[in-house]
Amino acid sequence: MRLPEWFSFIALGIPLSVLGELPWGGWLQIPALSVVWWRLGLLQSDSMRQHLAGGFALGLGYFVIGLWWIYISLHDIGGMHPALSATAVFLLSAYMAVFFALASALASRLGNRSIFLDSLIVAAAWVLMEYLRGQLFTGFPWLGFAESQVNGPFAAVAPLLGGLGSSFLVIWASMQIAQWRRSLTRALIPVGIILILMLGLNQLRFTEAAGTPISVRLIQGNFEQSLKWNPSAIARQIDFYSEAIQAHAADLIVIPETAFPWPQKDLPSQTIPSLAAFAQDSSSNILIGLIGVVPEANGTLRFSNRALGISANGGELYHYDKAHLVPFGEFIPPGFQWFVDAFKVPMSDFARGSLLQAPFLIERPKDDNLGAAITICYEDIFGNELAGRIRNSSAPVNVLINMTNLAWFGKSQAPSQQLRLSQMRSIETGLPSIRATNTGITAVIGPDGRVSDSLAQFTQATLSTSVQAYSGKTPFVLWGNWPILSLCSLILALAFMGRRRF
């Protein structure tokens, strides 16, 4: 592929990424993808090299624009050299773009049949590569086409087939539109039928309201990340959150990830007992983000990214240790100690929690108790893992709670991107989501994925609201990704057999 073509495909990826950030991004990305398929000549050439190169260049433009905020955490917060920070963003984007390249090459190799079948083949190839992107090397399924569908037409399929199901329909519909020259009616009529079907799916409900709404207080401290390792600033932060928690009672009070940025055993001696006394006196349940301490089998102690729960009845403290850790930030892959040393942040090698930790019990004196599935930071981008936790939980899960600190990424699109991911998790599970963040976006999301209440970013404030919990399980929670992965595998297997036959 010649250099001008490289740049043209990179240029196509940039607006595709930007469109996903807009209020109607889920709709706008579909015609934009149609242009991409037409320009890529996905089914018009058998050149494997062309499709690999074109898909890679497209992905490079898409991910560099969508993930540039990682530079802020590496350079502005971590103190890494600008050149090394920029290189790290480029290399991560290049790795992600490999999956675009593989999907493009696989689809072109198996396609070239009818309009409808070609669209199915492209969608199946893309979804399988998206799935692999979310699994290999701990996975990073950020910036999938599904998350923009919270503002698009295909979110309604997520309770059945998850976010990958939404991605499948995005690719399929855009590919159908891209082939309008072959036959306008055969290209567009199926898309219209599926859009009408989505209206019907929007009326389906797999979960139902559980008990009376709970009162909730979410405290957004808006503390700069650069102060997190300053002892006097840490003390002020702990005092602020302690006082804010005890300012008013609520059924549930949540503060962000590592809002107490200090090991639990080294906190001021009266901090936790004082909060426990308040919880019991006011019938409040409290979730605190802090640094946990985990004893190892050899007798040593390791840190963990922990949510500490204090129940209203004064019982034993609950804790959830983050299970899906961030490479380099929370654990060190083999051979990369030098990178972590350059990224000047202490406590970068946390202990990993179990995937099957019990939900936090929200105790209520006048109504049934409720179960909350906790996720910390980017754990809520792994929809299949969360569905598995709910499916295999020893107790019912009625609400999702995410505790996050996005001060690492400054004034970027990272908070809005993660908000959309949380919205997709609510749609998939049919459960409301509660997000407590340091700098935003602190929000409450209904079981339909709509934001019902939120705080402005970069403000120190408290969101006091009520949340209706839900009970039940969606088909996606019951089955996970198996149905959509089986469908995609079947499509590609049939395409492969048909290719060999002819």
- Residues designated catalytic: 257, 322, 377
Query: What tokens does 53 get?
Result: 């190169």
Nearest Cα neighbor of 294 from 222, 225, 236, 354 is 354
Tally of CB atoms within 10 A around 226 = 12
Q: How many helices (H) and strands (E) would you count in the chain? A: 15, 15
For residue 328, give both structure tokens: 């380099």
**What is the DSSP code (8-state) at residue 73?**
I
Name the residue among 93, 21, 13, 111 with its Cα closest to residue 55. 13
Among 357, 432, 364, 431, residue whose Cα is nearest residue 394: 357
d(CA 307, CA 287): 6
The Cβ of residue 313 has, within 10 Å, a number of other Cβ atoms equal to 13
> DSSP string of 452-471?
EEE--TT--EEEEEEE--EE
Q: 298: which residues sit within 8 A by CB, 6+ positions away?
A: none
CA distance 467 to 309: 19
- Rounded CA gap, 173 and 116, in Å? 10
Q: Which residues of 127-165 are buried (b: 16+ CB within 10 A; e: fewer)?
A: bbbbbebbeeeebbbbbbbbbbbbbbbbbbbbbbbbbbb
What length does the chain have? 502
308 secondary structure, DSSP code: E
Distance between CA atoms of 170 and 148, rounded to whole angstroms? 10
In which order are the strands placed within the sheet that holds 433-437? 360-362, 370-376, 399-404, 433-437, 443-445, 451-454
- The single residue listed with the structure tokens 């993930």 is 67
Segment holding 475, helix H or strand E: helix 475-479
Amino acid at 442: T
* Local structure of 410: helix, strand or coil: coil
What is the chain's percent helix, strand, coil content, to nearest 5?
50, 15, 35
In the chain, the largest separation of any two C-alpha atoms, in whole Å, equals 76
Alpha-carbon radius of gyration of the chain: 23
CA atoms within 13 A on the CB side of 497: 6
93: which 2 tokens?
Answer: 């984007």
Q: How far apart are CA 123 and CA 169, in angstroms?
A: 7
